[in-house]
Amino acid sequence: MKNDFIAGYAKITEDALKKYMPEGDAAQKKLYDAMNYSIFAGGKRLRPMIMMMTAKMLGKPVDTVLPFACAMEMIHTYSLIHDDLPAMDNDDLRRGKPTNHKVFGEATAILAGDALLTKAFEIAAKYGTEYADSDKVVKAISILAEAAGSEGMVGGQVIDIFAEVEDLEQLKNMHALKTGAIIRASGVIGAVLSGADSEQINAIDSYCYNLGIAFQIQDDILDVLGSEESLGKPIGSDAENNKSTYVTLCGIDEAEKLQKEYIKKAKESLEIFENTEELSLLCDMLVNRKA
């Protein structure tokens, strides 16, 4: 993703994260190092970007959502650390670097994930009200918690690990929770903190739902057609782990066709708004992404 505005949002996120992340020579320095290692490992900052772009589209400064954008990235990073653990996907590489447990050991990696998850709620509650009214902040915290937990991302992860996913409908429902829940919450929180009405919140929700599925389809395609160099992790892991994906269930061509339909629906969801250029461009960039 080379566009300047994308790099701009990523930099705003990095700078704010630096402000909020713990560091120093405390007794728990090893934990801080593990948390910082993964959060500053070079992620795309997609979820904060969606939140900030939503605020901007609705005429608010991006600062309005900044504590929540950082909280969301902390939750996303915790999920990746835990997803890579031997008890889950047992991966050695993430974002082009050895996974957290490979560097710091399993116990510290688990605790770094736990600490990022709780830090997220600390930052949202402590700093959210510096930029938005407290009733909106409380609502946003509730959306964040629901999206990250048993009715959202963690619920989707459990389905992925333990349930047989045999058709496209089941696959879509699993990803709607595992990957989609916090992508949707990113847009919805951006809208809520920006004072959107219910029609606008629903439209953003629909944009993110469709974008999230298109994003996941690209992830499945890249696992077959991508390169380890750009992805920063080995390709072919889905086939190796016998995982059902959009590609295994319907083939590359059909997966690409489906992806285009979801992108179209995402863009249609934006029709009620003005200033949709960035969110619309984000759709195209995610489909063309190589990492």
46 touching ligand GRG, by CB under 6 A: yes
| Span near ligand GRG by CB under 6 A; candidates 63-71, 118-126, 152-160, 245-253 | 152-160
| Span near ligand GRG by CB under 6 A; candidates 19-27, 76-84, 245-253, 259-267 | 76-84
243 touching ligand GRG, by CB under 6 A: no
**Backbone Cα Rg of the chain:** 18
Task: Name which of 140 and 286 has its Cβ closer to ligand GRG.
Answer: 286
- DSSP 3-state of 94: strand
E strand or H helix at 110, and its extent? helix 106-127
| Span near ligand GRG by CB under 6 A; candidates 9-17, 58-66, 74-82, 135-143 | 74-82
E strand or H helix at 273, and its extent? none
CB 235 within 8 A of CB 226: yes
Helices (H) and strands (E) in the chain, counts: 15, 2
74 touching ligand GRG, by CB under 6 A: no
Shortest Å distance, C-beta 223 to ligand GRG: 9
Member of 62, 178, 211, 217 binding ligand GRG (CB under 6 A): 178
223 touching ligand GRG, by CB under 6 A: no
Half-sphere exposure for 242 (CA within 13 Å, toward CB): 5
Q: Which residue is nearest to ligand GRG (CB)?
A: 43
d(CA 173, CA 8): 33
CB 177 within 8 A of CB 156: yes
| Span near ligand GRG by CB under 6 A; candidates 54-62, 151-159, 243-251, 276-284 | 151-159
Question: Looking at this protein, which amino acid is placed at residue 102?
Answer: K
E strand or H helix at 190, and its extent? helix 180-193
| Span near ligand GRG by CB under 6 A; candidates 10-18, 42-50, 130-138, 253-261 | 42-50
54 touching ligand GRG, by CB under 6 A: no
Question: Looking at this protein, which amino acid is placed at residue 239?
Answer: A
Shortest Å distance, C-beta 47 to ligand GRG: 7
d(CA 227, CA 223): 8
Member of 9, 101, 191, 219 binding ligand GRG (CB under 6 A): 219
CB 157 within 8 A of CB 87: no
Q: Residues in the site for ligand GRG, rule: CB under 6 A?
A: 43-44, 46, 76, 79-80, 82-83, 95, 153-154, 157, 178-179, 216, 219
